[in-house]
Chains A and B, each alone.
Chain A
Amino acid sequence: MIFDPFLIRAALAGVGVALAAAPLGCFVVWRRMAYFGDATAHAAILGVALSLAFSLSVFVGALVVALLMAGLVSVLADRGLAMDTLLGVLAHSALAVGLVAASFLTGVRLDLMAYLFGDILAVSWGDVAVIWGGAGLVLALLGWRWSALLTATLNGDLAHAAGIDPRREQVILTLALAVVVAVAIKVVGALLIGALLVVPAAAARPLARTPEGMAAMAALIGAISAIGGLWAAFAFDTPTGPTIVCAAAFCFALSAGLGGLRRREDG
Protein backbone atom coordinates (compact mmCIF):
# COMPACT_ATOMS: atom_id res chain seq x y z
CA MET A 1 0.00 0.00 0.00
CA ILE A 2 2.91 2.32 0.67
CA PHE A 3 3.74 2.39 -3.04
CA ASP A 4 0.30 3.47 -4.12
CA PRO A 5 0.73 6.22 -6.72
CA PHE A 6 -1.43 8.68 -4.77
CA LEU A 7 0.84 8.26 -1.75
CA ILE A 8 3.94 8.82 -3.85
CA ARG A 9 2.37 11.95 -5.35
CA ALA A 10 1.41 13.15 -1.88
CA ALA A 11 4.92 12.56 -0.55
CA LEU A 12 6.48 14.36 -3.51
CA ALA A 13 4.08 17.29 -3.12
CA GLY A 14 4.69 17.56 0.62
CA VAL A 15 8.46 17.37 0.30
CA GLY A 16 8.47 19.91 -2.55
CA VAL A 17 6.52 22.45 -0.50
CA ALA A 18 8.65 21.77 2.59
CA LEU A 19 11.91 22.31 0.69
CA ALA A 20 10.85 25.72 -0.62
CA ALA A 21 9.05 26.82 2.54
CA ALA A 22 11.92 26.04 4.93
CA PRO A 23 14.62 28.48 3.75
CA LEU A 24 11.98 31.12 3.06
CA GLY A 25 10.61 30.47 6.54
CA CYS A 26 14.05 31.24 7.96
CA PHE A 27 13.84 34.76 6.51
CA VAL A 28 10.29 35.08 7.75
CA VAL A 29 11.52 34.22 11.27
CA TRP A 30 14.67 36.38 11.12
CA ARG A 31 12.73 39.39 9.90
CA ARG A 32 9.97 38.87 12.43
CA MET A 33 7.30 38.71 9.78
CA ALA A 34 5.78 35.39 10.86
CA TYR A 35 2.23 36.66 10.36
CA PHE A 36 3.08 37.99 6.94
CA GLY A 37 2.89 34.39 5.72
CA ASP A 38 -0.54 33.96 7.30
CA ALA A 39 -1.85 37.19 5.84
CA THR A 40 -0.73 36.19 2.36
CA ALA A 41 -2.12 32.68 2.78
CA HIS A 42 -5.51 33.86 4.03
CA ALA A 43 -5.73 36.21 1.10
CA ALA A 44 -5.20 33.23 -1.17
CA ILE A 45 -8.67 31.94 -0.21
CA LEU A 46 -10.06 35.02 -1.93
CA GLY A 47 -7.89 34.07 -4.88
CA VAL A 48 -9.36 30.57 -4.89
CA ALA A 49 -12.91 31.97 -4.90
CA LEU A 50 -12.10 34.39 -7.72
CA SER A 51 -10.37 31.78 -9.83
CA LEU A 52 -13.36 29.45 -9.53
CA ALA A 53 -15.72 32.30 -10.43
CA PHE A 54 -13.74 33.20 -13.53
CA SER A 55 -12.67 29.59 -14.28
CA LEU A 56 -8.99 30.31 -13.94
CA SER A 57 -6.53 27.86 -12.47
CA VAL A 58 -6.52 27.95 -8.68
CA PHE A 59 -2.74 28.36 -8.71
CA VAL A 60 -2.93 31.53 -10.82
CA GLY A 61 -5.77 33.03 -8.77
CA ALA A 62 -4.05 32.33 -5.46
CA LEU A 63 -0.74 33.65 -6.78
CA VAL A 64 -2.21 36.92 -8.05
CA VAL A 65 -4.15 37.67 -4.87
CA ALA A 66 -1.21 36.66 -2.66
CA LEU A 67 1.00 39.05 -4.63
CA LEU A 68 -1.54 41.87 -4.33
CA MET A 69 -1.80 41.24 -0.61
CA ALA A 70 1.97 41.25 -0.16
CA GLY A 71 2.22 44.49 -2.12
CA LEU A 72 -0.55 46.06 -0.05
CA VAL A 73 1.19 45.11 3.20
CA SER A 74 4.48 46.62 2.00
CA VAL A 75 2.84 49.88 0.93
CA LEU A 76 0.80 50.27 4.13
CA ALA A 77 3.80 49.39 6.32
CA ASP A 78 5.67 52.32 4.75
CA ARG A 79 2.85 54.61 5.84
CA GLY A 80 3.82 53.96 9.43
CA LEU A 81 1.14 51.55 10.66
CA ALA A 82 2.43 49.02 13.19
CA MET A 83 3.17 45.79 11.37
CA ASP A 84 1.38 43.41 13.74
CA THR A 85 -1.81 45.47 13.72
CA LEU A 86 -1.67 45.82 9.97
CA LEU A 87 -1.18 42.10 9.41
CA GLY A 88 -3.94 41.32 11.90
CA VAL A 89 -6.38 43.55 10.03
CA LEU A 90 -5.42 42.35 6.57
CA ALA A 91 -5.09 38.63 7.34
CA HIS A 92 -8.51 38.28 8.90
CA SER A 93 -10.23 40.65 6.51
CA ALA A 94 -8.82 38.78 3.54
CA LEU A 95 -9.98 35.44 4.93
CA ALA A 96 -13.45 36.83 5.69
CA VAL A 97 -13.80 38.47 2.27
CA GLY A 98 -12.62 35.24 0.65
CA LEU A 99 -15.20 33.17 2.52
CA VAL A 100 -17.98 35.66 1.72
CA ALA A 101 -16.95 35.77 -1.93
CA ALA A 102 -16.99 31.97 -2.03
CA SER A 103 -20.59 31.94 -0.76
CA PHE A 104 -21.67 33.84 -3.89
CA LEU A 105 -20.42 31.04 -6.07
CA THR A 106 -23.61 29.23 -6.97
CA GLY A 107 -23.47 26.37 -9.37
CA VAL A 108 -19.80 25.79 -8.72
CA ARG A 109 -19.13 23.07 -6.23
CA LEU A 110 -16.52 24.56 -3.91
CA ASP A 111 -15.06 22.30 -1.32
CA LEU A 112 -13.87 25.08 0.93
CA MET A 113 -12.45 22.69 3.47
CA ALA A 114 -10.03 21.43 0.84
CA TYR A 115 -8.55 24.91 0.45
CA LEU A 116 -8.56 25.79 4.13
CA PHE A 117 -6.92 22.56 5.25
CA GLY A 118 -5.49 21.19 2.05
CA ASP A 119 -6.06 17.83 0.45
CA ILE A 120 -2.66 16.39 -0.22
CA LEU A 121 -4.01 12.93 -1.06
CA ALA A 122 -5.89 14.43 -4.00
CA VAL A 123 -2.92 16.01 -5.77
CA SER A 124 -2.45 15.04 -9.40
CA TRP A 125 0.79 14.62 -11.31
CA GLY A 126 0.09 18.05 -12.75
CA ASP A 127 -0.12 19.50 -9.24
CA VAL A 128 3.18 17.83 -8.35
CA ALA A 129 4.77 19.42 -11.40
CA VAL A 130 3.42 22.87 -10.44
CA ILE A 131 4.63 22.43 -6.86
CA TRP A 132 8.16 21.37 -7.88
CA GLY A 133 8.28 24.08 -10.51
CA GLY A 134 7.29 26.70 -7.93
CA ALA A 135 9.65 25.28 -5.33
CA GLY A 136 12.52 25.27 -7.83
CA LEU A 137 11.75 28.89 -8.74
CA VAL A 138 11.71 29.99 -5.11
CA LEU A 139 14.93 28.12 -4.27
CA ALA A 140 16.67 29.57 -7.33
CA LEU A 141 15.51 33.08 -6.38
CA LEU A 142 16.72 32.68 -2.79
CA GLY A 143 20.00 31.13 -3.90
CA TRP A 144 20.64 33.94 -6.36
CA ARG A 145 19.94 36.73 -3.88
CA TRP A 146 21.13 34.89 -0.75
CA SER A 147 23.98 37.20 0.32
CA ALA A 148 22.06 40.37 -0.48
CA LEU A 149 18.93 39.09 1.31
CA LEU A 150 20.95 38.14 4.35
CA THR A 151 22.75 41.51 4.47
CA ALA A 152 19.48 43.40 4.11
CA THR A 153 17.97 41.23 6.86
CA LEU A 154 20.83 42.03 9.23
CA ASN A 155 20.73 45.78 8.74
CA GLY A 156 19.34 48.04 6.05
CA ASP A 157 22.11 50.60 6.38
CA LEU A 158 24.84 47.96 6.06
CA ALA A 159 23.11 46.84 2.89
CA HIS A 160 22.99 50.39 1.53
CA ALA A 161 26.68 50.90 2.27
CA ALA A 162 27.42 47.73 0.27
CA GLY A 163 25.32 48.96 -2.65
CA ILE A 164 22.32 46.71 -1.94
CA ASP A 165 18.81 48.17 -1.94
CA PRO A 166 16.97 46.58 1.03
CA ARG A 167 13.59 47.43 -0.50
CA ARG A 168 14.36 45.42 -3.60
CA GLU A 169 15.32 42.43 -1.44
CA GLN A 170 12.06 42.80 0.46
CA VAL A 171 10.18 42.66 -2.83
CA ILE A 172 12.03 39.47 -3.79
CA LEU A 173 11.12 37.82 -0.48
CA THR A 174 7.51 38.88 -0.90
CA LEU A 175 7.44 37.43 -4.39
CA ALA A 176 8.88 34.13 -3.17
CA LEU A 177 6.33 34.04 -0.35
CA ALA A 178 3.44 34.50 -2.76
CA VAL A 179 4.71 31.64 -4.95
CA VAL A 180 5.07 29.29 -1.98
CA VAL A 181 1.57 30.13 -0.74
CA ALA A 182 0.11 29.53 -4.18
CA VAL A 183 1.76 26.13 -4.59
CA ALA A 184 1.17 25.04 -1.00
CA ILE A 185 -2.52 25.81 -0.76
CA LYS A 186 -3.50 22.37 -2.08
CA VAL A 187 -1.06 20.53 0.15
CA VAL A 188 -1.59 21.97 3.62
CA GLY A 189 -4.29 24.56 2.98
CA ALA A 190 -4.44 28.28 3.65
CA LEU A 191 -4.73 27.96 7.41
CA LEU A 192 -1.61 25.88 7.85
CA ILE A 193 0.84 27.33 5.31
CA GLY A 194 2.15 29.70 7.95
CA ALA A 195 3.00 26.68 10.09
CA LEU A 196 5.08 25.05 7.33
CA LEU A 197 7.01 28.31 6.97
CA VAL A 198 7.66 29.05 10.60
CA VAL A 199 7.72 25.75 12.51
CA PRO A 200 10.61 23.97 10.70
CA ALA A 201 12.69 27.17 10.78
CA ALA A 202 12.06 27.59 14.51
CA ALA A 203 12.90 23.92 15.08
CA ALA A 204 16.16 24.33 13.17
CA ARG A 205 17.34 27.36 15.17
CA PRO A 206 18.88 25.58 18.19
CA LEU A 207 20.69 23.14 15.92
CA ALA A 208 22.42 25.66 13.64
CA ARG A 209 25.49 27.88 13.83
CA THR A 210 25.17 29.69 10.52
CA PRO A 211 22.25 31.02 8.47
CA GLU A 212 22.93 28.45 5.75
CA GLY A 213 23.03 25.67 8.34
CA MET A 214 19.67 26.79 9.69
CA ALA A 215 18.10 26.88 6.22
CA ALA A 216 19.40 23.39 5.36
CA MET A 217 18.29 22.00 8.72
CA ALA A 218 14.86 23.60 8.31
CA ALA A 219 14.52 21.99 4.88
CA LEU A 220 15.45 18.61 6.34
CA ILE A 221 12.99 18.98 9.24
CA GLY A 222 10.29 20.13 6.82
CA ALA A 223 10.83 17.12 4.56
CA ILE A 224 10.86 14.69 7.50
CA SER A 225 7.65 16.28 8.82
CA ALA A 226 5.97 15.95 5.43
CA ILE A 227 6.80 12.26 5.06
CA GLY A 228 6.32 11.46 8.75
CA GLY A 229 3.02 13.31 8.83
CA LEU A 230 1.82 11.53 5.72
CA TRP A 231 2.68 8.18 7.24
CA ALA A 232 1.04 9.04 10.57
CA ALA A 233 -2.09 10.32 8.84
CA PHE A 234 -2.35 7.01 7.00
CA ALA A 235 -1.58 4.91 10.08
CA PHE A 236 -3.95 6.74 12.45
CA ASP A 237 -6.51 7.82 9.87
CA THR A 238 -6.17 11.53 10.65
CA PRO A 239 -6.44 14.56 8.33
CA THR A 240 -3.16 14.80 6.42
CA GLY A 241 -2.32 18.53 6.38
CA PRO A 242 -2.79 19.02 10.13
CA THR A 243 -0.89 15.79 10.82
CA ILE A 244 2.09 17.11 8.84
CA VAL A 245 2.03 20.29 10.92
CA CYS A 246 1.81 18.18 14.09
CA ALA A 247 4.91 16.27 12.98
CA ALA A 248 6.74 19.59 12.49
CA ALA A 249 5.60 20.77 15.92
CA PHE A 250 6.92 17.50 17.38
CA CYS A 251 10.32 18.21 15.74
CA PHE A 252 10.23 21.70 17.25
CA ALA A 253 9.58 20.28 20.73
CA LEU A 254 12.48 17.83 20.33
CA SER A 255 14.93 20.48 19.14
CA ALA A 256 13.85 22.98 21.78
CA GLY A 257 14.53 20.33 24.42
CA LEU A 258 17.88 19.51 22.86
CA GLY A 259 18.80 23.21 22.67
CA GLY A 260 17.90 23.64 26.34
CA LEU A 261 20.13 20.72 27.32
CA ARG A 262 23.01 22.06 25.25
CA ARG A 263 22.70 25.51 26.78
CA ARG A 264 22.88 23.97 30.23
CA GLU A 265 26.10 22.16 29.29
CA ASP A 266 27.60 25.39 27.93
CA GLY A 267 26.37 27.15 30.95
Chain B
Amino acid sequence: MSLLSLQGVGVRLGGAEVLRDVDLSFARGEIVTIVGPNGSGKSTLLRAMIGAVRPSSGQVVRASGLRIGYVPQTLHIDATLPITVARFLSLPVRRNRGEIAEALDQAGVPDLGARQMARLSGGQFQRVLLARALLETPDLLLLDEATRGLDQPGSAAFYRQVEEVRQRLGCGVVMVSHELHVVMSASDRVICLNGHICCEGKPEVVADAPEYRALFGTGTGGALALYRHDHNHSHDHDCGHDHTHEAAE
Protein backbone atom coordinates (compact mmCIF):
# COMPACT_ATOMS: atom_id res chain seq x y z
CA MET B 1 0.00 0.00 0.00
CA SER B 2 1.47 3.30 -1.01
CA LEU B 3 1.29 6.27 1.37
CA LEU B 4 2.28 8.79 -1.23
CA SER B 5 3.27 8.50 -4.83
CA LEU B 6 4.59 10.83 -7.48
CA GLN B 7 3.52 10.08 -11.02
CA GLY B 8 5.55 11.63 -13.79
CA VAL B 9 6.13 14.73 -11.68
CA GLY B 10 7.92 17.67 -13.23
CA VAL B 11 8.52 20.99 -11.49
CA ARG B 12 9.54 24.30 -13.02
CA LEU B 13 10.62 27.12 -10.73
CA GLY B 14 11.01 30.57 -12.24
CA GLY B 15 11.19 29.11 -15.75
CA ALA B 16 13.91 26.61 -14.93
CA GLU B 17 13.17 22.91 -14.95
CA VAL B 18 14.08 21.56 -11.53
CA LEU B 19 12.53 18.11 -11.70
CA ARG B 20 11.35 15.96 -14.60
CA ASP B 21 9.63 12.61 -14.94
CA VAL B 22 9.85 11.63 -11.30
CA ASP B 23 7.99 8.42 -10.53
CA LEU B 24 8.23 7.38 -6.91
CA SER B 25 6.17 5.62 -4.34
CA PHE B 26 6.63 5.47 -0.58
CA ALA B 27 5.31 2.73 1.69
CA ARG B 28 4.73 2.36 5.41
CA GLY B 29 7.69 1.21 7.50
CA GLU B 30 10.28 2.01 4.84
CA ILE B 31 13.27 4.34 5.18
CA VAL B 32 14.08 5.97 1.86
CA THR B 33 16.99 8.31 1.36
CA ILE B 34 17.25 10.81 -1.45
CA VAL B 35 20.79 11.79 -2.33
CA GLY B 36 22.00 14.13 -5.00
CA PRO B 37 24.38 17.05 -5.57
CA ASN B 38 23.48 20.66 -4.79
CA GLY B 39 20.69 21.95 -6.98
CA SER B 40 19.55 18.45 -7.91
CA GLY B 41 15.99 19.17 -6.76
CA LYS B 42 16.01 17.19 -3.50
CA SER B 43 14.33 19.85 -1.40
CA THR B 44 11.96 20.73 -4.23
CA LEU B 45 10.90 17.11 -4.35
CA LEU B 46 10.05 17.12 -0.64
CA ARG B 47 8.26 20.46 -0.98
CA ALA B 48 6.19 19.02 -3.82
CA MET B 49 5.32 16.12 -1.54
CA ILE B 50 3.97 18.41 1.21
CA GLY B 51 2.11 20.53 -1.32
CA ALA B 52 4.27 23.66 -1.00
CA VAL B 53 5.25 23.43 -4.67
CA ARG B 54 2.76 22.70 -7.41
CA PRO B 55 4.03 20.25 -10.04
CA SER B 56 3.98 21.66 -13.57
CA SER B 57 3.31 18.18 -14.89
CA GLY B 58 2.29 14.84 -13.43
CA GLN B 59 0.68 14.51 -10.03
CA VAL B 60 1.33 13.84 -6.37
CA VAL B 61 -1.12 11.33 -4.91
CA ARG B 62 -1.52 11.14 -1.14
CA ALA B 63 -3.38 8.37 0.66
CA SER B 64 -6.58 9.81 2.10
CA GLY B 65 -6.11 11.19 5.61
CA LEU B 66 -2.33 10.95 5.29
CA ARG B 67 -0.56 12.61 8.21
CA ILE B 68 2.82 14.07 7.28
CA GLY B 69 5.52 14.97 9.78
CA TYR B 70 7.88 17.45 8.15
CA VAL B 71 11.28 18.55 9.40
CA PRO B 72 12.44 21.45 7.21
CA GLN B 73 16.00 22.11 6.17
CA THR B 74 16.23 25.41 7.96
CA LEU B 75 13.83 27.23 10.14
CA HIS B 76 14.69 30.78 10.97
CA ILE B 77 12.68 32.15 13.86
CA ASP B 78 12.74 35.91 13.82
CA ALA B 79 14.32 37.40 16.93
CA THR B 80 11.22 39.55 17.40
CA LEU B 81 9.05 36.46 17.92
CA PRO B 82 9.19 35.14 21.48
CA ILE B 83 8.21 31.50 21.63
CA THR B 84 8.91 28.69 24.06
CA VAL B 85 9.63 25.16 22.89
CA ALA B 86 6.33 23.97 24.39
CA ARG B 87 4.36 26.65 22.52
CA PHE B 88 6.16 25.86 19.27
CA LEU B 89 5.23 22.20 19.63
CA SER B 90 1.59 23.23 20.10
CA LEU B 91 1.38 24.74 16.61
CA PRO B 92 -0.93 24.58 14.82
CA VAL B 93 -2.67 21.91 16.90
CA ARG B 94 -2.91 22.34 20.67
CA ARG B 95 -1.06 19.59 22.54
CA ASN B 96 -1.25 18.90 26.24
CA ARG B 97 1.67 18.96 28.61
CA GLY B 98 1.99 15.17 28.68
CA GLU B 99 2.12 14.82 24.91
CA ILE B 100 4.75 17.55 24.66
CA ALA B 101 6.93 15.99 27.35
CA GLU B 102 6.66 12.59 25.67
CA ALA B 103 7.57 13.92 22.21
CA LEU B 104 10.58 15.81 23.58
CA ASP B 105 11.66 12.69 25.38
CA GLN B 106 11.36 10.60 22.23
CA ALA B 107 13.33 13.15 20.26
CA GLY B 108 16.09 12.94 22.84
CA VAL B 109 15.71 16.41 24.37
CA PRO B 110 13.64 16.09 27.56
CA ASP B 111 13.13 19.10 29.84
CA LEU B 112 13.47 21.73 27.11
CA GLY B 113 9.79 22.76 27.15
CA ALA B 114 10.22 26.08 28.94
CA ARG B 115 13.23 27.25 26.92
CA GLN B 116 13.04 29.94 24.26
CA MET B 117 13.44 28.54 20.72
CA ALA B 118 15.97 31.28 19.93
CA ARG B 119 18.25 30.05 22.72
CA LEU B 120 18.57 26.44 21.56
CA SER B 121 21.76 25.03 20.11
CA GLY B 122 21.68 23.73 16.54
CA GLY B 123 21.36 20.13 17.67
CA GLN B 124 18.61 20.88 20.17
CA PHE B 125 16.73 22.89 17.57
CA GLN B 126 16.74 20.03 15.04
CA ARG B 127 15.51 17.63 17.71
CA VAL B 128 12.71 19.97 18.69
CA LEU B 129 11.71 20.04 15.01
CA LEU B 130 11.72 16.25 15.08
CA ALA B 131 9.59 16.26 18.25
CA ARG B 132 7.11 18.55 16.51
CA ALA B 133 6.90 16.18 13.55
CA LEU B 134 6.39 13.24 15.94
CA LEU B 135 3.42 14.96 17.60
CA GLU B 136 1.57 14.55 14.31
CA THR B 137 1.92 10.75 14.82
CA PRO B 138 2.88 10.82 11.16
CA ASP B 139 2.24 8.12 8.61
CA LEU B 140 5.08 9.60 6.64
CA LEU B 141 8.04 11.44 8.15
CA LEU B 142 9.91 13.79 5.81
CA LEU B 143 13.36 15.00 6.82
CA ASP B 144 15.11 17.63 4.72
CA GLU B 145 18.81 17.76 5.63
CA ALA B 146 17.69 17.32 9.20
CA THR B 147 21.19 16.91 10.59
CA ARG B 148 22.58 20.07 9.08
CA GLY B 149 24.92 21.65 11.59
CA LEU B 150 25.25 18.55 13.75
CA ASP B 151 28.61 16.90 14.26
CA GLN B 152 29.05 13.27 13.25
CA PRO B 153 28.16 11.64 16.60
CA GLY B 154 25.25 14.07 16.77
CA SER B 155 23.86 13.12 13.39
CA ALA B 156 24.46 9.42 14.02
CA ALA B 157 22.45 9.71 17.25
CA PHE B 158 19.77 11.68 15.41
CA TYR B 159 19.36 8.98 12.78
CA ARG B 160 19.20 6.29 15.48
CA GLN B 161 16.29 8.24 16.94
CA VAL B 162 14.62 8.32 13.54
CA GLU B 163 15.10 4.56 13.27
CA GLU B 164 13.45 4.10 16.68
CA VAL B 165 10.55 6.29 15.66
CA ARG B 166 10.07 4.25 12.52
CA GLN B 167 9.94 1.06 14.54
CA ARG B 168 7.53 2.44 17.11
CA LEU B 169 5.14 4.26 14.77
CA GLY B 170 5.63 2.04 11.76
CA CYS B 171 5.70 5.18 9.64
CA GLY B 172 7.45 5.62 6.32
CA VAL B 173 10.53 7.86 6.44
CA VAL B 174 11.90 9.90 3.56
CA MET B 175 15.20 11.67 4.16
CA VAL B 176 17.21 14.06 2.08
CA SER B 177 20.85 14.26 2.93
CA HIS B 178 24.34 15.22 1.92
CA GLU B 179 25.80 12.83 4.44
CA LEU B 180 25.76 9.82 2.21
CA HIS B 181 27.69 7.54 4.50
CA VAL B 182 25.60 8.04 7.64
CA VAL B 183 22.30 8.06 5.86
CA MET B 184 22.69 5.36 3.27
CA SER B 185 23.61 2.68 5.75
CA ALA B 186 20.33 3.22 7.62
CA SER B 187 18.17 3.17 4.50
CA ASP B 188 16.09 0.45 2.91
CA ARG B 189 16.17 2.22 -0.40
CA VAL B 190 18.31 5.00 -1.84
CA ILE B 191 17.24 7.30 -4.62
CA CYS B 192 19.91 9.14 -6.50
CA LEU B 193 18.48 12.36 -7.86
CA ASN B 194 19.85 14.89 -10.30
CA GLY B 195 16.85 16.63 -11.79
CA HIS B 196 15.54 13.18 -12.59
CA ILE B 197 16.01 9.81 -10.91
CA CYS B 198 19.47 8.59 -11.91
CA CYS B 199 19.22 5.30 -10.12
CA GLU B 200 17.51 3.75 -7.14
CA GLY B 201 17.70 0.60 -5.08
CA LYS B 202 19.31 -0.85 -2.00
CA PRO B 203 22.22 1.20 -0.61
CA GLU B 204 24.83 -1.31 -1.78
CA VAL B 205 23.38 -1.41 -5.25
CA VAL B 206 23.21 2.37 -5.60
CA ALA B 207 26.72 2.85 -4.21
CA ASP B 208 28.02 0.58 -6.98
CA ALA B 209 25.87 2.05 -9.74
CA PRO B 210 27.80 3.92 -12.43
CA GLU B 211 25.33 6.84 -12.33
CA TYR B 212 25.97 7.28 -8.62
CA ARG B 213 29.72 7.00 -9.08
CA ALA B 214 29.56 9.60 -11.81
CA LEU B 215 27.91 12.05 -9.41
CA PHE B 216 29.78 11.33 -6.21
CA GLY B 217 32.97 9.61 -7.30
CA THR B 218 34.20 6.35 -5.89
CA GLY B 219 35.48 7.73 -2.59
CA THR B 220 32.16 7.33 -0.84
CA GLY B 221 32.08 3.61 -1.53
CA GLY B 222 34.58 3.15 1.25
CA ALA B 223 32.81 5.58 3.52
CA LEU B 224 29.66 3.52 3.25
CA ALA B 225 31.44 0.60 4.84
CA LEU B 226 33.21 2.81 7.32
CA TYR B 227 30.04 4.23 8.76
CA ARG B 228 28.34 0.94 9.25
CA HIS B 229 30.03 0.50 12.58
CA ASP B 230 28.27 1.38 15.80
CA HIS B 231 28.81 4.97 16.89
CA ASN B 232 27.83 4.26 20.45
CA HIS B 233 31.22 2.88 21.39
CA SER B 234 33.26 3.96 24.39
CA HIS B 235 36.31 6.08 23.83
CA ASP B 236 39.74 5.46 25.28
CA HIS B 237 39.84 8.72 27.08
CA ASP B 238 38.10 9.04 30.39
CA CYS B 239 35.72 11.93 29.99
CA GLY B 240 33.01 10.40 32.12
CA HIS B 241 29.94 11.10 30.02
CA ASP B 242 27.73 9.17 27.71
CA HIS B 243 28.45 9.91 24.07
CA THR B 244 24.93 9.15 22.95
CA HIS B 245 23.74 12.32 24.63
CA GLU B 246 26.45 14.54 23.29
CA ALA B 247 24.29 15.70 20.44
CA ALA B 248 21.76 17.09 22.84
CA GLU B 249 24.24 19.25 24.66
Q: Is B a genuine binding partner of A?
A: yes
Chain A 37-78 interface 0/1 with B at a Cβ cutoff of 8 Å (1 = within): 000000000000000000000000000000000000000000
Say whether B224 faces chain A, with CB atoms less than 8 Å apart: no
Q: 1/0 per position for B42-55, CB-CB distance to A under 8 A?
A: 00000100111000
Which residue in A30, A157, A212, A213 is a CB contact (below 8 Å) of B52? A157
Across the interface, B70 reaches (CB within 8 A) one of A31, A161, A210, namely: A161
Interface core residue of A154, A201, A208 (most chain B CB under 10 Å): A154
Question: Is B197's beta carbon under 8 Å from chain A?
Answer: no
| CB–CB B82/A211 < 8 A | yes
Query: Are the CB atoms of A205 and B80 closer together than 8 Å?
Result: yes
Chain B residue numbers with a CB within 8 Å of A157 are 47, 50, 52, 70, 72
Nearest CB to that of A34 among chain B residues? Answer: B80
Chain B residues, Cβ within 8 Å of A162: 92-93, 136
Q: Is the CB of A148 within 8 A of B92?
A: yes
List residues of chain A with CB within 8 A of the CB of B51.
Answer: 160-161
Residue A101, interface by CB 8 Å? no
A154→B47 CA distance, assembly (Å)? 16
Interface residues of A in 157-200 (CB under 8 A from B): 157-162, 164
Q: Are B80 and A154 in contact (CB under 8 A)?
A: no
Quick one: which of A128-179 are within 8 Å of B by CB?
147-148, 150-151, 153-162, 164
Shortest Cβ distance from B120 into chain A, in angstroms?
Answer: 14
Contact yes or no, B82 A213, CB < 8 A: yes
A29 nearest CB neighbor, chain B only: B80
What residues of A have a CB within 8 angstroms of the CB of B84 in the complex? 209-210
A205-B80, A210-B82 known; A154 and B142 CB under 8 Å?
no
Of residues 208 through 255 on chain A, the ones whose CB sits less than 8 Å from some CB of chain B are 208-214
Q: Is the interface of A mostly helix, strand, loop or mixed?
A: helix
Residues of A near B82 (CB, < 8 A) are: 205, 208-211, 213-214
Instruction: Check B50–A155 contact: CB distance below 8 A.
Output: no
Q: Which residues of A contact B142 (CB under 8 A)?
A: 161
Interface flag for B75 (CB, 8 Å): yes
Known: A30-B80, A209-B116, A210-B84. A155 touches B75 (CB 8 A): yes
- Interface pairs (14), CB distance under 8 Å: A29-B80, A31-B78, A147-B92, A153-B81, A157-B70, A158-B72, A158-B75, A161-B70, A209-B84, A210-B82, A210-B83, A211-B81, A213-B82, A214-B82
- Interface, chain A (partner B; CB < 8 A): 29-32, 147-148, 150-151, 153-162, 164, 201-202, 205, 208-214
Taking Cβ atoms with an 8 Å cutoff, the residues of B that contact A are: 47, 50-52, 68-70, 72, 75, 77-78, 80-84, 87-88, 91-94, 116, 136, 142
